[in-house]
Amino acid sequence: TQALSGMLGVALILAVTAMGGPTANAAHLPTVGLGTADSFAVLAGSGITNTGPSVINGDIGSYPTTSITGFPPGTVNGTDHGGDADTQGAKSDLVTAYNDAAGRTPVTTVPTELGGTTLTHGVYSSAAGTFGITGALTLDAEGDSSAVFIFQMASTLTTATASSVVLIGGGQSCNVFWQVGSSATLGGSTSFRGNILALTSITLVTSATVDGRVLARNGAVTLDTNTITTATCAAAPTATPAPTVAPTATPAPTATPAATPTPTPTATPTASPAATATPAATATVTPAPTVAPTTAPTAAASPVAKLPSTSTGDLSIPLALLVVLLAGIGLFMLRSPGRRA
């Protein structure tokens, strides 16, 4: 019993430890809402400067410093809001989003260098307060298109030349957030994924590309022949209900008309002549013959009066026999030896 209890305890500890990992913690991690800043590809606090034929696919704006230069030669496939009310509202929503990302927990602390590693969705913090990427950082959504990745750093974010952030497993750039405590610098030809929310400034060196957003709260944004495309999350696929197959109506069986019977002619009965009753023969009653009574001899000592006959016939013969029988019995009793004594 003690051994079993110990094994259960170890299993429980392992389960709790596993649940504390980034994958379990991020199982229901919500995204960071950007509000009205969502439509901006580039947003700054103290101006935007561009060199070269940069392409911005999304809106741009700067406030309170409204200076935006370098377009053209740069191209904005969106709206240049300058410092209008839309920009001011977006700056306010950027502050909210920045604070949201900075306050997310639980946090997994990882080394400063992210290049050459693969991370699953979750909240990550730098041990030294800064993050650097040399080479490729792989973010694995593990088949969950809504997986969220949040990187918190107290200071800077830098990438080496030709570095990259790669999303696999269905991950989307719109759900990757880089909360930078000071400034971010992307090296030349870097291929970057996600939304940079920097407290101060953001600089993109020549030919660096961003699939996401470049949002600086207080400082400037500096560009040089870059391509920045606002990342939009694809809607989760809607399950298509299986078409309902209408049942095929089974035709009712056609009633087979009953055969009309051919009438059989009814034979007209021929009247038979009534049988002539034969008169019953009259029974002839033959009277029973009268038997003449036979006079039986009677004992001289015991004359018996003759009984009258019944109405059913002459009983003279049976009575005579009875008298003879009684007389015999009396003689027998008189002659028996016992009577002599």
In tens digits, what is the pLDDT along the chain, a chain of 341 residues?
Answer: 444 444 444 344 344 334 444 444 445 799 999 999 999 999 999 999 999 999 999 999 999 999 999 999 999 999 999 999 999 999 999 999 999 999 999 999 999 999 999 999 999 999 899 999 999 999 999 999 999 999 999 999 999 999 999 999 999 999 999 999 999 999 999 999 999 999 999 999 999 999 999 999 999 999 999 999 999 998 766 555 565 555 565 555 555 555 555 555 454 444 444 444 444 444 444 444 444 444 444 434 444 444 444 444 444 445 656 655 776 776 667 666 554 44
The HSE-up count of residue 62 (CA atoms within 13 Å, CB side) is 18
Task: State the total domains in the chain.
Answer: 1
- Residue 224 lies in domain: 20-229
Establish if 33 belongs to a structural domain: yes
Place of tokens 């306050």: 103
Does the residue 56 lie in any domain? yes
| Residue 319 located in a structural domain | no
In a domain, 279, yes or no: no
**Residue 138: partners with Cβ closer than 8 Å, 6 or more residues away:** 117, 118, 119, 166, 167, 168
Q: Is 19 helix (H, G, I), strand (E, B) or coil?
A: helix
Rounded CA gap, 149 and 169, in Å?
13
In terms of Cα–Cα distance, which of 112, 139, 133, 231 is closest to 190? 133
| Residue where the block lists tokens 């009534």 | 274
Whole-number pLDDT of residue 264? 52
The tokens describing 335, both together, are 């002659």
- On whether residue 275 sits in a domain, the answer given is no
Q: Residue 323: left if φ>0, alpha if ψ -120 to 50, beta else—which one?
A: alpha
Q: What is the pLDDT of residue 237?
A: 60
- Kindly write down the DSSP assignment for every residue of 16-72, as one continuous string: HHHHTSHHHHTTTPPPPP-GGGGGEEEEEEEEEEEESS-EEESEEEEEEEEEEE-TT
Any domain includes 142: yes
Q: How far apart are CA 209 and CA 188, in angstroms?
A: 9
- Write down the pLDDT at residue 3: 46
Q: Which residues pair with 194 in a beta bridge?
A: 212
Instruction: List Cβ neighbours of 79 (8 Å cut-off, separation of 6 or more).
Output: 59, 60, 86
Q: Are strands 122-126 and 176-180 parallel, antiparallel or unpaired?
A: unpaired
Please classify residue 189 by burial: count the beta carbons closer than 10 Å to its beta carbon, then call 0-12 exposed, 13-18 middle and 19+ buried.
middle
- Cα radius of gyration rounded to whole Å, the chain: 66
Asked if residue 196 lies in contact with residue 184, where contact means CB atoms within 8 angstroms, the answer is yes
C-alpha to C-alpha distance for 29 and 167, rounded to whole angstroms: 18
Q: Which pLDDT does position 21 carry in this prediction? A: 42
99 within a domain of the structure (yes/no):
yes
Residue 285 lies in a domain: no
